[in-house]
Amino acid sequence: MTQNEFPECPYEANDTCIVIQEDKVEEVTKGGILLSKDQVNREQNSATEGTIVNLGCMAFYDIPEEHRFKVGDRVIYKKYSGVGRTYNDIPYRIMNDKDIAARERKHE
């Protein structure tokens, strides 16, 4: 795996864009309620968490290198950011790097 690629990522980000593999919305709630396909789609379109799987060559360029986001980082991003796509039943979101709000800290 190179610095800018994630295994099986079908999209290559351009310039300051990034590709996020979104957390998949479950079709059944914790309480056991089965959601309709429309409800699942609405929830997926408003998802705000995922994992960076590809970075454009200029993504996060204005951030000092030691603080830049990297492929594999778990992130929180702005609701309804970018463009959503699904490939092999995996939800992806392609967005500008400025739409990332936070990174999950790694606990060691």
- Which tens digit of pLDDT belongs to each residue from 87-104? 998 999 999 999 999 999
Can you tell me which residue has the tokens 């999209």? 11
The answer for 38, left when phi > 0, alpha when psi is -120 to 50, beta otherwise, is alpha
Domain region containing 77 = 17-103
pLDDT of residue 6: 62
pLDDT of residue 5: 56
Q: Which residues of the chain have pLDDT under 70?
A: 1-7, 107-108
pLDDT of residue 26: 80
CA distance 52 to 34: 29
Does a structural domain hold residue 53? Answer: yes
Does a structural domain hold residue 90? Answer: yes
pLDDT of residue 21: 95
pLDDT of residue 44: 79
> HSE-up of 14 (CA within 13 Å, CB side)?
0
Q: What's the number of domains the chain is made of? A: 1
Domain CATH code at residue 36: 2.30.33.40
pLDDT of residue 7: 63
User: What tokens appear for 68 in the block?
Assistant: 């830049």
pLDDT of residue 1: 42
